[in-house]
Structure 1
Amino acid sequence: MNAKNLIYDGTFDGFLSAIFYVFDHKLKSVTIQNEFTVQHGLFAEIETIYTDEAKANRVWKGIKSKLSSQGSYQLYYAFLSEQIGVEDLLLDYIRYAFSQQKKWIKIIHIRLF
């Protein structure tokens, strides 16, 4: 199966809408990219994700239920860093947090540089 590239509008709600899409479609091999920095893969299937505030709010509520308030806001600040590839790193982090039974208290330490 080819990898799927999800292209979103660059907003945090757009990113959360893409996260919703990943979980809703149970995607394993996926890359999330901002429409302003997108690099298309040779064999990747491209899907444009449109921002859906209701879905974004649902994902954010779920994130806040799994992470401490500090952890959820650090996730947000990491997103704001606009580093290339931060979306995929945050997707992995969110997948891990959602896989845990209890609220995850650990603080996210992402090396961005």
Structure 2
Amino acid sequence: MTTTLLYDGSFDGLFTAIFEVFEYRYQDVEIVCREKFYQENIFAEIHETVTQSEKSERVLNKLEQSIGKKGIHQLLKVYLSENTESEKVILSAVRQSIKYPEKNILENYADADIMTISKICKSVDRESHRMTAFVRFEKMQDDLFFSKIDPDFNVLPLIRKHFSDRYQDQKWMIYDLRRNYGILYNLETSDFFYPDEKLEIKNYQEKFHNEEKNYQTLWQRYFTKTNIVERKNIKLHVQHVPKRYWKYLTEKW
């Protein structure tokens, strides 16, 4: 009989569920986020997991001994990818790591689940890099620099350090439109914030600082004037700056 472990969708919750797979010796098992669960198999046993950081840390500490901190970071990226196979391949990686503790199983690309992890990590890395390259801040009336993003993956936790290190002399906010949360930097710390309702940004341009409007106009004029029509290569341009990122670029408006 299949056992379905339901968890709260958090990283700690996922590894609490993995701990309980071993604790209760489940064999035929699947781990599913509670919010996404739809019971197709009426004969499946349901196990409700309550997130416990102690259990999660025990699994992560054990894993670190074989795959290192870099390996843990790879599993975090798989989790943040929100891929439908994330829970499955992460559980598979943990099981293999427990079975072969002397090996870094994440280097065994002959295994289908490990190869899936590798592919997911590459995709998430690519998206993270593009977010650091294409994010544009806009100065608001309260002198806060605001940026809205809509990435394919949940990369905010991965790009937080980049912006915290690079922009230490100004207050800024990055808000994920799709996932309704963001990062706020107040000149001292950068913290995640989770509004109860989605931020209303339909007419947020009305809150632009006057300087911002002028800068945008100047930049658009500069881009137009320096653009050499005869040398335009749209195919090459799209390869380096895919169209789905154009919405972040002032010169494309």
What is the TM-score normalised by the length of structure 1? Answer: 0.89
Give the letter for the 2:33 counterpart. N
Question: Hey, what does 2:91 align to over in structure 1?
Answer: 91
C-alpha change, 1:105 and 1:52, in structure 2 (3 Å) is same
Question: Hey, what does 1:19 align to over in structure 2?
Answer: 18
Runs of 4 or more consecutive aligned structure 1 residues displaced over 3 Å after TM superposition = 105-109
> CA shift at 1:73, angstroms?
0.7
Higher fraction of helix: 2
In structure 2, C-alpha distance between the alignment counterparts of 1:105 and 1:32, rounded to whole Å: 21
Q: How does 1:1-113 map to 2 (within 5 A)?
A: 2-40=1-39, 41-104=41-104, 106-107=106-107, 108-109=114-115, 110=117, 111-112=119-120
In structure 2, C-alpha distance between the alignment counterparts of 1:90 and 1:97, rounded to whole Å: 10
C-alpha change, 1:7 and 1:105, in structure 2 (3 Å) is closer
Does structure 2 retain, via aligned residues, the 8 Å contact 1:9–1:51? yes
> CA shift at 1:14, angstroms?
0.4
Does structure 2 retain, via aligned residues, the 8 Å contact 1:68–1:103? no
In structure 2, C-alpha distance between the alignment counterparts of 1:83 and 1:101, rounded to whole Å: 26
- Judge which range, 44-53 or 66-75, deviates more: 66-75
What is the TM-score normalised by the length of structure 2? Answer: 0.42
> CA shift at 1:103, angstroms?
4.2
> CA shift at 1:105, angstroms?
6.4
Does structure 2 retain, via aligned residues, the 8 Å contact 1:4–1:30? yes
In structure 1, C-alpha distance between the alignment counterparts of 2:43 and 2:96, rounded to whole Å: 27
C-alpha change, 1:97 and 1:6, in structure 2 (3 Å) is same
Give the letter for the 1:102 counterpart. E
> CA shift at 1:106, angstroms?
3.9
Percent identity of equivalent pairs: 31
In structure 2, C-alpha distance between the alignment counterparts of 1:88 and 1:4, rounded to whole Å: 13
Give the letter for the 1:28 counterpart. Q
Structure with the bigger RCO (C-alpha within 8 Å, sep 6+) is: 1
In structure 2, C-alpha distance between the alignment counterparts of 1:87 and 1:32, rounded to whole Å: 6
- Secondary structure in 1 matching 2:84: coil
Does structure 1 retain, via aligned residues, the 8 Å contact 2:8–2:51? yes
In structure 2, C-alpha distance between the alignment counterparts of 1:6 and 1:105, rounded to whole Å: 24
- Secondary structure in 1 matching 2:56: helix
- Secondary structure in 2 matching 1:36: helix
Which has the greater radius of gyration? 2
Q: How many residues align?
A: 112
In structure 1, C-alpha distance between the alignment counterparts of 2:72 and 2:28, rounded to whole Å: 24
Question: Hey, what does 2:173 align to over in structure 1?
Answer: none
> CA shift at 1:99, angstroms?
0.7
In structure 1, C-alpha distance between the alignment counterparts of 2:53 and 2:99, rounded to whole Å: 24
Does structure 2 retain, via aligned residues, the 8 Å contact 1:4–1:47? yes
In structure 2, C-alpha distance between the alignment counterparts of 1:83 and 1:36, rounded to whole Å: 15
In structure 2, C-alpha distance between the alignment counterparts of 1:101 and 1:69, rounded to whole Å: 15
